[in-house]
Amino acid sequence: MSSHSPTRAREVMVVGGDVVVVWADGHESYYPGAELRRACTCAECKGEGHLFGRSTLPTLKPLVPEAFVPVAVGLVGNYGLQVTWGDGHDYGIYTLAELRAACPCDGCRAGAPPAP
């Protein structure tokens, strides 16, 4: 993967209630914390499959308002992003490819090439 690949993150940070990714091509994506937390795919939030077809259901617990507030973010290798939430939850890994594909900016949503 080249250093200018559209799915390579140059920088990640928390700005207000958003998780921000500055991509290698200069494009910036702002992901609302509440939407990102609801999309968490960790085993605790979404359950998990097992080798022989059995599955474990997610832990159903009410989420406090802090659960939707990102407090820290970091890269996981060259493929993912991990968020620490205000309630301490930090198990989910969001893949960079999926995040880039789901960029919520108007240009990306309209299918336009991303502008830096």
CATH of the domain at 26: 3.30.2020.30
Q: Which of 14-18, 57-61, 69-73 has the lowest mean pLDDT?
A: 57-61
> Is 15 part of a structural domain of the chain?
yes
> Is 115 part of a structural domain of the chain?
no
pLDDT of residue 1: 46
The per-residue pLDDT for range 42-68, each reduced to its tens digit, is 888 888 877 777 777 777 778 899 999
CA distance 18 to 9: 16
> Is 58 part of a structural domain of the chain?
yes
Whether 102 shows a pLDDT value over 90: the answer reads yes
> Is 35 part of a structural domain of the chain?
yes
**What would you report as the CA-atom Rg of the chain, rounded to the nearest whole angstrom?**
15
The stretch 19-28 carries a mean pLDDT of 96
Provide the residue range defining the domain that includes 92: 9-109
pLDDT of residue 55: 75
> Is 18 part of a structural domain of the chain?
yes
> Is 2 part of a structural domain of the chain?
no
The stretch 103-108 carries a mean pLDDT of 92
pLDDT of residue 41: 86
pLDDT of residue 80: 96
Which residues lie closer than 8 Å to 114 by C-beta, 6 or more apart? Answer: 6, 23, 25, 27, 103, 105, 107, 108
What is the tally of structural domains in the chain? Answer: 1
pLDDT of residue 62: 84
